[in-house]
Amino acid sequence: MGNVYVALLWHHHQPYYREGPEGRYAMPWVRLHAIKDYYGMAWLAQQHPQVHLTFNLVPSLLAQLDDYARGTARETRLELTAKPAQDLTEKDVHTLLDECFSANWDRMIRPRPGYHELLRKRRFGRRTAAQAAEDFSTQDLLDLQVWSTLAWFFPQLLRDDPVLRDLVAKDHGFTEEDKAAMMAREREVIARVLPMYRELQESGSAELSVSPFYHPILPLLCRMDRAREALPHLPMPRHVADFTEDARVQVARAVEAYQASFGRAPRGLWPSEGSVSPEVPPLAAAAGFRWIATDEGILCRSLGRTLCRDGRGRLQEPDTLYQAYRAPADSGELAIIFRDRVLSDLIGFQYYNQPPGDAAADLVGRLSEIAAGSGARDAFVAIILDGENAWEHYEDSGIPFLHALYDLLARTPHIHTVTVSEHLESHPPQAVLPRLFSGSWINSDFGIWIGHQEDRRGWELLAQTRQFLAARTDGARPLSPELSKAWEELYVAEGSDWFWWYGDDHSSPQDAEFDRLFRLHLQNVYRLVGESPPEVLDEPIARAAIRVPYSQPTAFLQPEIDGRQGTFFEWTAAGIYRRELDPAGAMEKATPDRIHRVYFGFSESEFFLRIDCQGPFIEQMPAAGRILVVFTEPRHIHLEVSDLQSPHPRLRIDGRECRGGRAAAGPLFELACPFQELGFRPREACRFHLRLTEGEAVVERAPRVGAMTFDVPTRDFEYEMWQV
């Protein structure tokens, strides 16, 4: 039996929330994730020094953490928390009531009686903040100020720290002195975060890697038309600029920031969103990096082959993925590693559903199967995922699961945890990647960041601003303080996060705020050099939400998945999309649409879908056609239906067999798929649309633009609907 070398890479990133060189922080998420996830992940690593890990720290996150640690960060919600409750204005109260319940209700609010009672009193969905304010006393508001931060502390801190432990025990009736003590402890915890990671690196139990400074999509800066490699017919922005030098600066600045924070040069680069192209390896190698990482989908596209998996996600040809590669010849000694998407997504999206010990045993069991199936060969498995977003869905913020996982990894024969650099030093890559496909870890393309009209409008405004600034700079060296700040604002605006929220892939209550921040950074460029920003930057880029003609599910469903019209009540509580009410793009097709109605809904554990055509479904569908149920939130995933003319169509999730799913075709089409297999959690907002394809061509989309949405239900869904 060979050995399995496992590189666990936890990626830490937040958008750059600061509004300008001297600006405020528009959102609190760096601060709140710092006291929970960034502290907690380092603490857990310290408890398991025998488990070697890699942490990717985005430099713009480091800068924000440092600002909070020094006490110089100005943030509206932080100031509202600090303000004496008796001095809160009406506007302050409304803001608190709208924003201070932004936490996982089931894991972070319900277990705290005092906080849960405030949530019940708020009655979201039934009362506005102004209406609810009448029921909140000054003491209630003070309790809310405390809990909206206290609930975010890493749970082990709430147990071990005397100040925080006493506040949790007190539960309600907090004083201003209590609040001040909590906020002082918050500052101390944030100040401890970066030193903890530095100590992990110095002890040898962790490697720290970086991303380009403000998290831009490097391939689009290097050569924007690389987006057409995966999406050949993608329209390009009408006005473009040369961002090549900015790509080099974003990488070089990342190296400088790492050296300033950790006293050495970084060896590894996680390109933002795993985005790579032929230009990225030479750029990384020139900056001194020894390795970069991306997704398995990029490996497949680079090699021109498919990775086949069985129903449990096991690879049929594991040697292809489970090794490091040397980059194409013009990149020196740079290595490229590729993440195992299935194993990474199990942690990110599914294991929270299972008892922590069972989940850990399942992952280690899968790694043991890889060892057993490798013969005498060693296998290298890269598991790469976000290091902060999953844990609010886990029991006790993931502490029992990660303890169990790290313990098992440390004592299981033939499994060895390694930092990426440790493995590459002991196992220099032998295989050479012949070419590198251009794409990201989402769909192996760049559609999220340039695939929509709003994205392209953002790139056009960014290009215009860059050309203005380049003309103002006119080769001046050294730059004046004002010009340096103006270039910094431009680099901020190149970050991927602004473009993430444009288009109809993703949506959040903060869409307009992200749009404002992007345009504000561009406006700052003009102001910093003494010019008035063009009025076009006052105009929102994000369009008003598209109203899609569909209704929402109103109760749990229990349909029989047989492809036939059942009783009237089978689908009566479903959400329904009606094609004839969808005006968008109705005149664009010469042939009539096949999809007539889409019904969707759920039980507590399963997602259900039904498609009606103008005639029998099984006769209307093309023989070589596929239906893709494309989810863009809460994560990108394709539920693929093939063999459409068969009574029992085939279901696959991102290329692997859907073990728990069921589908039937006849006069109509019906499917059921467990939420657990999709990796969706209760209360998560889902966005999806359908695509009917023939070959590689999309011949029909429902809805024509936009998406259908629903929230993954809790067991109390019907009760909550009744209350509304």
Q: What is the pLDDT of residues 101-143, one digit of tens each?
A: 999 999 999 999 999 999 999 998 889 999 999 999 999 999 9
Residue 567 counted as domain residue: no
The answer on 239 and 141 residing in a single domain is no
Residue-level pLDDT at 412: 96
The CA-based angle 669-675-677, given to 5 degrees, is 95
For 264-282, the three-class secondary structure string (H helix, E strand, C coil) is: CCCCEECCHHHCECCCHHH
The answer on 465 and 381 residing in a single domain is no
Burial bucket for residue 3 (CB in 10 Å: 0-12, 13-18, 19+): middle
| Interatomic CA distance for residues 51 and 44, integer angstroms | 10
The answer on 284 and 391 residing in a single domain is yes
Q: What is the pLDDT of residues 670-723, one digit of tens each?
A: 999 999 999 998 888 898 999 998 877 788 889 987 889 999 998 877 665 544
Residue 254 counted as domain residue: yes
Cβ atoms of residues 280 and 436 within 8 Å = yes
Q: How confident is the model at residue 63 (pLDDT cuts 50, 70, 90)?
A: very high
The answer on 179 and 220 residing in a single domain is no
Last residue of a domain, one of 432, 461, 484: 432
CATH number at residue 508: 1.20.1430
Q: Distance between alpha carbon 14 and the CA centroid of its chain, in Å? A: 10
Structure tokens at 537: 């930057």
Structure tokens at 223: 């050569």
Concatenating the DSSP letter of every residue in 440-487 gives -TTTTS-HHHHSSHHHHHHHHHHHHHHHHHHHHHTT-SSPPHHHHHHH
Q: Report the helix count and the strand count for the chain, using DSSP H and E.
A: 28, 22
Q: What is the mean pLDDT of residues 441-455?
A: 94
Structure tokens at 350: 């599914």
Q: How many CB atoms lie within 10 A of CB 568?
A: 7
Q: Which residue has the higher pLDDT, 286 or 313?
A: 286
Q: What is the mean pLDDT of residues 523-536?
A: 95
Q: Which residue has the higher pLDDT, 655 or 71?
A: 71
- Beta bridge partner(s), residue 309: 315
The answer on 169 and 117 residing in a single domain is yes
The answer on 687 and 600 residing in a single domain is yes
The answer on 414 and 287 residing in a single domain is yes
- Of the ranges 41-45, 313-317, 343-347, which one carries the lowest mean pLDDT score? 313-317
Residue 554 counted as domain residue: no
Burial bucket for residue 523 (CB in 10 Å: 0-12, 13-18, 19+): buried
The answer on 326 and 354 residing in a single domain is yes
Residue 244 counted as domain residue: yes
Q: What is the mean pLDDT of residues 558-578?
A: 89
The answer on 313 and 216 residing in a single domain is yes
Give the count of domains, the chain. 4
What percent of the chain stands above pLDDT 70?
A: 97
Residue-level pLDDT at 589: 45
Q: What is the mean pLDDT of residues 231-256?
A: 94
| Interatomic CA distance for residues 305 and 211, integer angstroms | 28
Residue-level pLDDT at 584: 56
| Interatomic CA distance for residues 646 and 619, integer angstroms | 10
The answer on 271 and 402 residing in a single domain is yes
Count of residues making up the chain? 724
- Beta bridge partner(s), residue 6: 381, 417
Cβ atoms of residues 240 and 462 within 8 Å = no
CATH number at residue 669: 2.60.40.10
Q: What is the mean pLDDT of residues 72-89?
A: 96
Q: Which residue has the higher pLDDT, 329 or 11?
A: 11
Cβ atoms of residues 104 and 54 within 8 Å = no
What's the domain range around 127? Answer: 66-194
Residue 715 counted as domain residue: yes
Residue for token pair 């297999």: 677
- The CA-based diameter of the chain, rounded to the nearest angstrom, is 77
Residue-level pLDDT at 587: 36
pLDDT at residue 370 is higher than 80: yes
pTM: 0.87
Residue-level pLDDT at 556: 93
Ramachandran angles phi, psi of 85, nearest 5°: -60, -35
Residue-level pLDDT at 586: 40
- The mean of the pLDDT values for the chain is 92
Residue 556 counted as domain residue: no
Q: How many CB atoms lie within 10 A of CB 46?
A: 14
Residue for token pair 């929230």: 711
The answer on 129 and 75 residing in a single domain is yes
pLDDT at residue 395 is higher than 90: yes
pLDDT at residue 20 is higher than 50: yes
Residue-level pLDDT at 311: 78
Last residue of a domain, one of 432, 464, 480: 432
The answer on 465 and 421 residing in a single domain is no
Residues 6 or more apart whose Cβ sits within 8 Å of residue 475: none
| Interatomic CA distance for residues 347 and 351, integer angstroms | 5
Query: Around 55, how many Cα atoms within 13 Å sit in the side-chain half-sphere?
Result: 33
Residue-level pLDDT at 585: 47
Q: How confident is the model at residue 330 (pLDDT cuts 50, 70, 90)?
A: confident
- Of the ranges 491-495, 545-549, 660-664, which one carries the lowest mean pLDDT score? 545-549
Last residue of a domain, one of 143, 161, 194: 194
Q: What is the pLDDT of residues 581-627, one digit of tens each?
A: 876 544 344 457 889 999 999 999 999 999 999 889 988 888 888 99
| Measured torsion, CA atoms of residues 364, 370, 376, 381, in degrees rounded to the nearest 10 | -80
Residue 36 counted as domain residue: no
Residue-level pLDDT at 457: 94
Residue-level pLDDT at 460: 95
Of residues 508, 512, 570, 522, the one with CA closest to residue 542: 512
Q: What is the pLDDT of residues 630-653, one digit of tens each?
A: 998 888 899 999 999 999 999 999
| Measured torsion, CA atoms of residues 26, 31, 32, 38, in degrees rounded to the nearest 10 | 140
pLDDT at residue 443 is higher than 80: yes
